Amino acid sequence: DTEVTQTPKHLVMGMTNKKSLKCEQHMGHRAMYWYKQKAKKPPELMFVYSYEKLSINESVPSRFSPECPNSSLLNLHLHALQPEDSALYLCASSHNGLEGDTQYFGPGTRLTVL
């Protein structure tokens, strides 16, 4: 199994809502990532978890809250988002998060904030 799955595929939420994005992999990878991709732009790294510990936070606003309950699961909790947060949110995983480690991406969750 070389797949990273993400749910939901699409999400529409209001600025006062609380929602969560979910990512799962069963490749035995110990590093997982959240990226944000705006239209016609490359992905931008948000967070990196390595061995269930947060190792990189790219100065992401606190309305985005990541969680890694175990090595196979990664969540992104959303609260009080702004319309400019509308984007494709991509999850990725890799073997151990060290330099040179190949990242495998999921299909993404397309988020629209009204």
Partner 1 sequence: GEDVEQSLFLSVREGDSSVINCTYTDSSSTYLYWYKQEPGAGLQLLTYIFSNMDMKQDQRLTVLLNKKDKHLSLRIADTQTGDSAIYFCAEGTSGGYNKLIFGAGTRLAVHP
**Residue numbers of the site for partner 1 (CB under 8 A)?**
4, 6, 31, 41-45, 48, 55-56, 90, 92, 94, 97-108, 110
Output the smallest distance, CB 18 to partner 1, in A. Answer: 25
Residue 101 corresponds to which tokens in the numbers above? 């480690």
Q: Output the CA torsion sign for 10, 8, 64, 97.
A: negative
On whether the CB atoms of residues 45 and 31 are closer than 8 A, the answer is: no
Question: Is 17 or 37 the residue whose CB approaches partner 1 more closely?
Answer: 37
On whether the CB atoms of residues 81 and 70 are closer than 8 A, the answer is: no
Question: Is 45 or 80 the residue whose CB approaches partner 1 more closely?
Answer: 45
Question: Is 44 or 67 the residue whose CB approaches partner 1 more closely?
Answer: 44
